[in-house]
Amino acid sequence: MYVADQTWPELGDYVAEESVAIVPLGSTEQHGPHLPLATDHLIAEGLAREAADRTGFLCTPTVNVGVSPHHRQFHGTMWVDAPQFRDYVESMTRNLAYHGIDRVVYVNAHGGNVQHLREVGRRLRDDGTLYAIEWMWDESIPDLVEEVFEYNGPHGGPKETAMIQHLAPDLVREEKLDAARDGGVRDVEAAEHLQKNGARIFYDAAENSENGVFGDQTDATAAVGERLFEAAAEQLVELLEWLDDRRLDDLLAPAHVDPQPGSRRE
């Protein structure tokens, strides 16, 4: 169920019986010469809508701009600073709590959002508002991703390329796949300039990839993208159903261990 397509009485019927919501989040940032800036939020929205269709749970509009300053040197990249992103997502989630939602899955497709969504979830849980968790699609199917690609990459690589070939094939510049591979970092594990003596010595993608991407994009196909999408969607559905079955009290922050502070004071 997509919230923006419903009327308010229909949503009243929903929250009278259900309390789960799905919030997709991505970014609008460079993904090399072959993929659109919309890559992350297209993947997040596609998976969130699919899971909502399969489960009947509520899906909100997508947050299309995320924490992406590390891609700012590339044309078109948009970002918000981390504190403003956290506050925005927290405020939006509190809106859901006001209407009766008490558990949320942030369906995320941008690595730069991860730590900030985790922090928002902690804030909301610790004050007893609701239980919110971050879910990253590729982290739900790591074995499959490793199986299908010889040279994977964390950004603009074959996994994201395959997903967009499946979800929005008209937006993939197929004639640029070779250039994406040759102008980027094909083998991330062999890239010596990514760290030194155990320290990450870079802050921006432009410091280690000329065209902003990593991995071998020529390994990607729409068929592989469909496999990834279906596998990740199944993982998300299972997570949502697990979450729906939990008692809210069991999800919120546990009490301080005994003895309770002040319990022996007179």
Angle at 59 between CA 243 and CA 26, to 5 degrees: 95
Angle at 241 between CA 237 and CA 140, to 5 degrees: 40
pLDDT in tens, 30-86: 999 999 999 999 999 999 999 999 999 999 999 999 999 999 999 999 999 999 999
Nearest to 106, CA basis, from 85, 127, 81? 85
- pLDDT above 70 for 166: yes
CB 193 within 8 A of CB 167: no
CB 71 within 8 A of CB 212: yes
Q: Residue 199: its pLDDT value, please?
A: 85
pLDDT in tens, 250-266: 999 998 999 888 888 76
pLDDT in tens, 142-152: 999 999 999 99
pLDDT in tens, 169-199: 999 999 999 999 999 999 887 776 677 788 8
Q: Residue 266: its pLDDT value, please?
A: 65
d(Cα 170, Cα 69) in Å, to the nearest integer?
A: 27
What crossing angle do the helices spanning 39-55 and 158-167 adopt, rounded to 10°? 60
Average pLDDT over residues 243-247: 95
CB 161 within 8 A of CB 177: yes
Per-position DSSP letters for 123-138, written without gaps between them: HHHHTTS-EEEEEEGG
Q: Which two structure tokens, joined as six digits, stand for 167?
A: 């979800």
Catalogue all structural domains in the chain, each as residue range(s) with its CATH number. Answer: 3-251 (3.40.50.10310)
pLDDT in tens, 213-222: 999 999 999 9
